[in-house]
Amino acid sequence: MNDPNGLVYKNGTYHLFYQAGEWPRRWDHATSTDLINWTEHGTKIPAVEPGDTAGISPFSGGAVIDENDTAGFGEDALVAMYTGHHYGDGFDAAGIEDQRVAYSTDNGETVHKYEENPVLPSDVGDWRDPRPLWYESDGNWRMVITRVSPAENRPAGVEIWESSNLKDWEYLSTYESGGEPWETPNLEQLPVEGTDESAWVVSMSAMDPRRVEHHIGCFDGTEFTAEKAIRADHGFDFYAPQYWANTPENRGLYIAWMNNWNYAMETPDNGWQGEMTVPRTISLVDGDDGPEVRQHPASELTEIRQEQLAELSDKQITPSNADQVCSQEASASGPLSGTDVDGRTLEIVATIDPQDADEVGLRVREGDEQASIITYDAANEELRFDRTNAGEFFDEGEYGVADAPLKPLCDGTIELRVFVDRSSVEIFANEGRKTMTNLVFPDWESTGVSLFADGGTATLEHLIAYDLSTES
């Protein structure tokens, strides 16, 4: 699997369509009432196999609930927009891409392709990932699509279109990328906490290098104007995010594909290839330089906590011998010694005061020769994640160490909320100011957790750890 598609909420159910299969790709469907437990419903938008004409693979797109039946498919119909990628006998990255509609009147149980597709024909490629949204100010629809490469009379960037019925669309403007290839766009209006204002956010995936950006600014119904841009996640494995449409209270709820196209097809075979991040929320808070982004795991994730493994306060973290890194000996006398903090599926929330330590951090999925290492470099105010000795596949090459600038909180501490899973580590730092998402492929036996400090002594002000699995 790869990109999340057609994310929409209806009558207590979260719908998640997604890109499935190696090639040609299709839309599969899953639903959940709690964002934790998901029920698979199989393929809903299949590919058209090549015959006398090129086949068509349904690439990424978004969905809405058409409450007022503007499209004529039925009241409260689930209407999806997707890209039709035309291909021959094999994958053709340069194939023509047009925009299409599918709909469901039974909550996604059956999905029908609109018989008059494409609603936006095309004779060029690199034009994809439509995401419609209801624009309340005008009482009609808008849609964002990325033009990855410039075309005749159209620059590259996020295009904005308008429609009254989700079928007939009029081009309005392009938020230009300056030549950088973008894809999988979102356009969301979010309140700015602590004010009576709101701001618009364009979130998209930049293809070189692979990353996601949030561009914050103004949207007047025709044009988007950015005031600032920030990186959404500083790990290697966070891409193609999409927001759920129609959520109560405009939660800013979204999810991303946890992988990277630069190596996605070569990752180890664990019985799957591709997975989603945990659902997270994005919010805006008032800052000195305009709205600032905060990201948090969806509140529902507290429900997957099983046994509380430990809770510690006011513990010293003393320097450790460098030769003990990635060994079980490293934790023999540390603050977690004698606790039950160990496992493959964990949530760890820790507040650490670096004090006079140069570096302080946390090792997870630790074994005799392995560890996934989260380090805070106090001198350089930098958060790092090192997976060069985290198991197979990753090494000291280009994708071994991820980093992010991170200033301490006003009291000098750093706060980490870490989700450890069988093949991933997701970090939310300093109350959601920075996030970092990375795959790891450790040995099954690598389950240890330890704290460390180098160059001085740090204080563990508080730590609480939970097991997230009922399995042994």
Intervals of CATH 2.60.120.560 along the chain: 305-467
What is the structure's pLDDT at 54? 76
User: What pLDDT score was predicted for residue 248?
Assistant: 87
Stretch 285-296: mean pLDDT, rounded? Answer: 93
pLDDT (0 to 100) of residue 471: 65
Tell me the pLDDT tens digit for each residue of 373-402. 999 999 999 999 999 999 999 988 899 999
Tell me what pLDDT residue 128 has.
97
Is 233 a known active-site residue?
Answer: no
Q: Name the least confident of 50-59, 79-88, 127-136, 406-415.
A: 50-59
Whole-number pLDDT of residue 331: 47
Least confident of 36-45, 55-64, 257-266, 329-338: 329-338
According to DSSP H, which parts of 27-170 are helical? none
The pLDDT score that the predictor gives to residue 320 is 67
Query: Can you give the pTM of this predicted structure?
Result: 0.95
pLDDT of residue 334: 84
pLDDT grade for 13, boundaries at 50, 70 and 90: very high
Share of the chain above pLDDT 90, in %: 86
Residue in 3, 66, 98, 386 annotated catalytic:
3
Residue 90 clears pLDDT 80, i.e. is over it: no
For the chain, give the percent of residues with pLDDT over 70. 95
Checking if the pLDDT of 111 tops 70, the result is yes
Q: Start-end ranges of CATH 2.115.10.20 in the chain?
A: 4-300
For domain 305-467, the question of CATH label 2.60.120.560 is answered with: yes
Confidence (pLDDT) at 324: 46
- Lowest pLDDT segment from 65-69, 128-132, 225-229, 322-326: 322-326
What confidence tens digit (pLDDT) does each residue in 206-252 have? 998 899 999 999 999 999 999 999 999 999 999 999 999 999 888 89
pLDDT, one tens digit per residue, over 161-174 is 999 999 999 999 99
Confidence bin at 323 (pLDDT 50/70/90)? very low
Question: What average pLDDT is seen over the chain?
Answer: 93
Q: What is the pLDDT of residue 333?
A: 62
Q: Rounded distance, CA 252 to CA 259, Å?
A: 22
CATH fold of the domain at 4-300 = Tachylectin-2; Chain A (2.115.10)
The confidence score (pLDDT) of residue 251 equals: 87
